[in-house]
A and B are shown apart, each in its own frame.
Chain A
Amino acid sequence: MRLEERMMKWLALGAGYVLLIQAVVTAVEIVARKVFNHSFQGVDELGGYALAIAGAVGFGYAALTCSHTRIDLVLSRLPVAARAVLHVLAAGFLMVVAGGMFWYGLRSLRQSIDYGAISTTPLQTPLWIPQGIWVVGLTLFMVLTVVIFVRCVIMFACRDFDGVEAQMKAKSQEQQELEAAGFGDKLKGGN
């Protein structure tokens, strides 16, 4: 596994555990609220941050595992060179959007720091903390899409169309869905 793949896998796993802890804490909160009439403050607020962070980290992980949704109806019917052109184009567009998300995310973070923004909740969370981690996730997403795009362009320039294909379309859509549903290994023996 490449370095960035290993790194993103660990980060994604970390984000997964954040969500799992969030789920357990939320469930405990409901029981506490219902049975002991006691409510911890801010579980929902932290849940929102958990999603923002898990999403931002996940964007990069999904880019690396080719999991972001694309419609491959036309793509799959074209010759390999034409497919490679479209893969490069798609990688470029994704990079532009990831770059935009990073840029405007960063601006949002800077505003929070400049104005010392805190959440309007009992927790009064200084917003730069969750937003800071969120921007780290968006930064990784941007860097990864740049890496993927540059690799695609270089391989395309070397006329290595299969390399572009491997970079951008590791698996077919249904295979991804099956793996996501926990059946990836059962199909490996098949065609």
Chain B
Amino acid sequence: MVSIGIIAVGFLCVIGLLMLGLHVGAVMALTALIGVIYGVGPMLLNSMGNLMWGQMNSFVLTAIPLYILMGEILVNAQIAERMYRSLSDWVQWLPGKLLHSNIASSTMFSAISGSSVATAATISTVAFPTFREHGYSERWVAGSIASGATLGILIPPSINLIIYGAITDTSIGALFIAGIIPGLLLASFFVIIIAVAATIWPSIAGDGTGPEPDLSGRWKRLIDLVGPVVIFALIIGSIYGGWATPTEAAAVGVVASLGLAAYYGKLNLTMLNDSLLATIRITAMILFVLMGAYFLNFAMGILGIPDQVAAFISSKNMSPTVFVLCLVLLYLILGCFLDALAMMITTIPVLFPVVVAVGFDPVWFGVFIVIMCELALLTPPVGMNLYIVQGVRNRGQITDVIMGVLPFFVGILALVALITFFPGIVTWLPEALK
């Protein structure tokens, strides 16, 4: 048996190796290797090949490249520009005016994209030009985009939820549905935060020099929202109509996005090749880390580490609230230093069995961990969304983006508190639709 002290030291060593800039997947695979040799002996390594084939030859995981491909095609077809324009027509009456377009279009883009980073890149490219010259506070513009974009992994489809489901054997369909209400709640928190701030400090929403919004064509422009809405409805509808698994729904999404790109006249070979190459690169990047996690999962199971940690935690007699608080603190700290996906994949093998043993619902924990990933995307020094937004903005300091994100950070923490005290927010919809 491995003592809790050795487990803690091992965990710190892994974090240390990651900090040295070694490949995340390689660190996990080698840690697993050492664990297996130390715990059982090298004989067991012979099953590694079959383990690897079993994990990579997976129809469930095929959903990952398909959702990535769908997002790539939609971005290259410039769906986001049209969506942004059309949504802007309808939110400008709120205090904070155009700032709400960032949240609205992020929310909608999240419903057709499985990645927050892609959402951040897309929305910032579309949004920044709109704000120039109208005296909006750059901090609020950047902050609302970076934060709004984190919805990408909470609102289905979501790559992070697929990975969570695959590692923990939780229904991906249920996870997708569970993400909807928290996602919409968070979007409305963001809207409220902007509206309140703009009421107190009207100057954040521009100096009033902007042109009068052209509302005459707004009914006509609604047609630009039909495509994204249909794609979302096809994906979620087919999963919940029971006609398709999440992977099959992703395939339908890919075909529908090709159709939409063709409709807008953007479908050509160059665009398709670029989308496919990016898809393969991102898929390989994710799969490599995931392979490392599977090895680590396997090794830790053999060493009985999750049982040890679970026994240790139960012996502390923590209340569930204190336990969640500890998890939030742990993820906040890890999120400062680790990439969100890497953070999620490295911690699930240890924490999932513990969390379930303590009595939490697997679907609830999936949504919880994705919200923690959202925070990780926003915490410096390694908050990817901060850098994406700054990269597109291409002027000023990253500090502006960091300061801009702070108010929205409060919204995400409020959501965490809400789902902790009312777990039904997460679990009710998937159970009602069962």
Contact = CB atoms under 8 A, between A and B. Distances in A.
Interface of A: 9, 12-13, 15-17, 19-20, 22-27, 29-30, 33-34, 44-45, 47-52, 54-59, 61-62, 65, 67-75, 86-87, 89-90, 93-94, 96-97, 100-101, 103-109, 111, 130-131, 134, 173-175, 177-183, 186-187, 190-191
Given A48-B58, A71-B18, A97-B29, A177 B244 contact: no
B183 interface: no
Contact of B280 (A57, A106, A175, A186): A57
B392 A69 contact: no
Contact of A97 (B25, B56, B122, B387): B25
Contacts of A94: 22-23, 26
B118 A181 contact: yes
Given A16-B276, A30-B248, A47-B62, A54 B21 contact: no
Given A30-B243, A75-B21, A177-B384, A61 B281 contact: yes
Secondary structure of the A side of the interface? helix
Interface in B3-56: 18-27, 29-30, 33, 45-46, 48-50, 52-53, 56
Interface in B270-292: 272-285, 287-289, 291-292
B56 A180 contact: no
Nearest to B115: A181
B337 A73 contact: yes
Contacts of A111: 49-50
A180 B278 contact: yes
Given A47-B59, A97-B30, 9 more contacts: A45-B59, A51-B58, A71-B337, A73-B382, A75-B21, A101-B52, A108-B53, A183-B121, A183-B125
The list of the 6 closest CB pairs from A to B, nearest first, reads A58-B284, A16-B276, A108-B49, A26-B251, A104-B49, A181-B121
A72 B342 CA distance: 13
B191 interface: no
B394 interface: yes
25 contacts: A12-B281, A23-B66, A23-B69, A26-B252, A30-B251, A48-B59, A52-B56, A55-B283, A55-B287, A59-B284, A69-B23, A69-B24, A69-B289, A73-B337, A73-B382, A94-B26, A97-B26, A101-B52, A104-B52, A105-B53, A108-B53, A134-B53, A174-B384, A181-B115, A181-B121
